[in-house]
């Protein structure tokens, strides 16, 4: 399997994100395909993935969802979670998701380097890619939490 082959890639990264959220917060999120390019809500955590071919992982959610996850991850009461706390929590989710996905690729050609994650905030964000860039989209949710995942690769 090549690191940049469609459904397998989505499965690996979505599974890694679901595992990280379950381990750090106790929430069990179901994974769904997403045709919605507008899953970028209010916060997007981003990391570049560098190897023979390159890509990026985006994890997006409303700030209220990240606040809940952050509270469970850190033990900080939800009403005391700050903007900096939510930024750190989302960066950590991106970092742990990529770190969890990395060993699932066992071929040296598939190994990628992790880069520092960062957060983008805004309303009604959209990201436009050049032709030839592939995008895998998933949504992870339960009754309370909804998190978007996009993996861009070429």
Given this model, what pLDDT does residue 107 score? 60
Given this model, what pLDDT does residue 136 score? 86
Digit-by-digit pLDDT tens for the chain (154 residues) are 344 456 778 888 999 999 999 999 999 999 988 766 545 668 999 999 887 777 889 999 999 999 999 999 999 999 999 999 999 999 999 999 999 988 877 665 567 788 999 999 988 777 778 888 888 889 999 988 999 999 888 7
Given this model, what pLDDT does residue 95 score? 95
Domains, the chain, with CATH or none:
6-153 (3.40.1550.10)
Q: 49-82 burial, b for 16+ CB within 10 Å, e for fewer? A: bebeeebbbbbbbebebbbbbbbbbbeeeeeebe
Q: Is 30 exposed, middle or buried (0-12, 13-18, 19+ CB in 10 A)?
A: exposed
Given this model, what pLDDT does residue 3 score? 46
Q: pTM score > 0.75 for this model?
A: yes
């Amino acid at each position: 399997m090549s690191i940049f082959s469609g459904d397998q890639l989505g499965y690996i990264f979505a599974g890694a994100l679901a595992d990280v959220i379950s381990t750090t917060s106790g929430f069990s999120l179901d994974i769904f395909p997403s045709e919605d390019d507008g899953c970028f809500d209010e916060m997007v955590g981003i990391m570049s993935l560098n190897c023979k071919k390159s890509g990026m992982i985006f994890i997006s959610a409303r700030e209220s969802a990240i606040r809940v996850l952050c509270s469970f991850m850190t033990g900080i009461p939800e009403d005391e979670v700050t903007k900096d706390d939510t930024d750190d929590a989302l960066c950590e989710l991106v970092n742990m998701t990529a770190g969890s996905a990395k060993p699932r690729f066992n071929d040296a050609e598939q190994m990628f380097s992790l880069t520092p994650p960062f957060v983008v905030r805004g309303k009604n964000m959209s990201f436009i890619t050049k032709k030839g860039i592939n995008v895998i989209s998933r949504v992870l949710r339960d009754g309370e939490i909804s998190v978007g995942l996009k993996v861009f690769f070429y």
